[in-house]
Amino acid sequence: MSGAKLDLQRIVVIGRTFEEYLRMFNLQREELAGRKILDCPAGVCSFTAAANQLGAEAVAADIAYCHSAEVLMEKGIKDIQHAMLQLGKVQQNFLWNEFKSIEELKQARTEALTASTLDRQQNEERYISAVLPQLPFADLSFELTLSAHLLFMYSDRLDYDFHLQSLQELMRVTSEEIRIFPLIDLSGRRYEEMDRLIEYIHTQGWNTEELKVSYEFQKGANSMLRMTRTRGMQSA
């Protein structure tokens, strides 16, 4: 875990709803109960709050949790407002099937932020300050790990070694399955080192699938990488 304190001016605090997570990761509500799940990086998404209400043992990890829930809520409200103004300039880069208007999108982002904040205020132990590629969890702590909108998306800033080390760490803490969404960068291109990474993943005793999902807001962002640990490969 990093000891550095995140400069909030350098990031945008925007979360996605539980319903978005179900579709981004092709999940069903009934498969969550009883499972130990990690959301990393989780930001101010509402998945952890909702999943725990459905009987999962879900934990959220993010560098932003070095700041209080109240500080992130205040920052998030401002960032949503700013993002909606900017989105009006690039609406053509998105498909407006998920959300019928910018106002509807704003409502969803605010809903996620509010649910995440309230749950963190009531269950602080679920929200762990951490930053990839190092996580403060024991080997095989989670059955399922979800990772959205970090890996692959920022390949112009995060190099191959960061992606490799992050995947190694996610594999270390996960006993069964990892799902990563989306598989493209901000310009809409598939991550150029994907095949190289997949080849490495296979050498570590994991299977991979690139699967289409029913969710698509950013154009082309409609696939996830599903990684499953090969039976008999339960040691870290």
What percent of the chain lies above the pLDDT cut of 70?
Answer: 93
- Token pair 């560098």 is found at 63
CA distance 120 to 105: 23
DSSP state of 92: G
User: Would you give the DSSP letter of residue 177?
Assistant: E
- Residue 236 in this model has a pLDDT that exceeds 70: no
2-17 pLDDT tens trace: 334 445 455 678 899 9
b/e code 126-153 from CB counts within 10 Å (16+ = b): bbbbbbbeebebeebbbbbbbbbbbbbb
**pLDDT at residue 233, rounded to an integer:** 59
Reported as type and span, the H/E element at residue 57 is strand 57-62
Q: Is the model more confident about 236 or about 170?
A: 170
Residue 198 pLDDT class (50, 70, 90 cuts): very high
Distance CA 235, CA 162 (A): 23
Q: What is the pLDDT of residues 135-179, one digit of tens each?
A: 999 999 999 999 999 999 999 899 999 999 999 999 999 999 999
pLDDT at site 187: 87
The model carries a pTM of 0.93
Whether residue 89 has pLDDT greater than 50 = yes
Q: What integer pLDDT is reported at residue 10 of this predicted model?
A: 55
Number of H helices, E strands in the chain: 6, 7
pLDDT of residue 88: 83
Q: What does pLDDT average to over the chain?
A: 92
Q: Please give the share of the chain, as a percent, with pLDDT higher than 90.
A: 85
What average pLDDT does range 49-73 have in this prediction? 97
Instruction: Check pLDDT > 60 for residue 212.
Output: yes
Is residue 120 scored above 70 in pLDDT? yes
Residue 207 has, within 13 A of its CA and on its CB side, a CA count of 8
Looking at the chain, how many residues does it have? 236
DSSP 96: T
Neighbours of 101 (CB within 10 A): 10
pLDDT tens digits for range 99-108: 999 999 999 9
> Which pLDDT belongs to residue 235?
47
